[in-house]
Amino acid sequence: MDENTCKLLVKLAQEGQLSSLEKLISLGGSAEVQTVGSKHFGRSGDTLLHYAARKGHLDIMEYLITRIGTDVEVYNNDYKRPLHEAASMSHQACVSYLLREGAKVDSLKKADWTPLMMACTRRNLGVIRELLCHGADPALKNKDGWNSFHIACREGDPLVVQHLLVVAPDVWRAESKTRRTPLHTAAMHGCEEVVRILLERCGYAPGCTDSCGVTPFMDAVRNGHISVARLLLEKHQEGHTSTIKTLLELGADLHVRDKKGRTALHMACIGQHADTARTLLQLGLKDSEDACGTTAMQHARKPDVVRVFECGLPDPS
């Protein structure tokens, strides 16, 4: 099979031109038919089935599997199966077909990502439901310790998050290899509605920290998500009034420091978030030195952040 023929095969598969693809393959004779189904193309090592699944061409997928004999579990150089491709691009009909043809629902690609994890990056509830109905395990972790729920919380679709909690009520308990929870992930990415769901339906302890001593509140502050930070202060307190004092009075989350001695105010200034820094000062968090003797104010670079410390708000004491 020459280079031009290979390029044309890939083009036809990507464009969904089934009749032309059939004709080109048949011109090569029986030997061509036997080899084309398992042939890997380009640096990625994709097969024609990978290209068809990625583009959502169900008719070409059916042709390749039933007529050409392509293995439904064929994988490329990253160990991605056609199911990974279809799930990651939200092609529900293709996902359903591959599963009916025997594709393994929890197959692993490079870095241990499952099709369900890939689907959660696209926020397509239909595809996610299809995978779960065929036994996909949302608790499986990739090489970094993330499960599908971590990924869904990062993307911020409340319906997906709620559905995963219904199917697997304990899935929220997962921590990554650096002890980051789905709550950390949602807070870091400013997914306010997801944070609200997690606080209402899951049992996260106030002030839970990752391996670097960072709390979800600090994540929200550092990334300028002030509404999420306020929600963490207000709602997290409400769910634990029987075991802790009011967070706003005690300042448990407000004054927490990471392993480098940095407060939420340090994080806000490192990220150059003026509104966040102003709110923290108004809530009573005073500037102070971290473990290296650096104050939050010394991290201020943008003029509006510098002005926060020049407007007569509380200063270090």
Top-confidence range, 35-44, 147-156, 230-239: 147-156
Phi and psi torsions of 268, nearest 5°: -60, -40
- Give the domain ranges of the chain: 207-317
CA 306 to chain centre: 34
User: Residue 242: its pLDDT value, please?
Assistant: 32
DSSP label at residue 118: H
Q: How far apart are CA 195 and CA 170, in angstroms?
A: 16
Q: What token pair was written down for 102? A: 């025997």
Listed residue (242, 174, 158, 240) closest to 210, CA to CA: 174
Assign 35 a pLDDT band (cuts: 50, 70, 90).
Answer: confident
Average pLDDT of span 13-42: 88
Q: 245 pLDDT exceeds 70?
A: no
Q: Which of 221, 239, 148, 159 shows the shortest CA–CA distance to 184?
A: 221
Q: What is the mean pLDDT of residues 108-118?
A: 96
- For 274-308, letters b (16+ CB in 10 Å) and e give bebbbbbbebebebbebeeebbbbebbeeeebeeb
pLDDT tens digit string along 183-237? 999 999 999 999 999 999 999 987 788 998 888 988 888 888 888 888 887 766 5
Taking only the tens place, the pLDDT of each residue in 155-187 is 999 999 999 999 999 999 999 999 999 999 999
pLDDT score recorded for residue 14: 97
DSSP annotation string for 216-235 = HHHHHHHTT-HHHHHHHHHH
Q: Which residues contact 194 (CB under 8 A, 6 or more apart)?
A: 153, 156, 157, 158, 161, 186
Gap between the Cα atoms of 122 and 141, Å rounded: 18
111 has pLDDT over 80: yes
What is d(CA 125, CA 157) in angstroms, rounded to the nearest whole number?
Answer: 9
Span 207-317: which CATH code?
1.25.40.20
Per-residue pLDDT, 253: 55
Is-contact 185 171, C-beta < 8 A? no
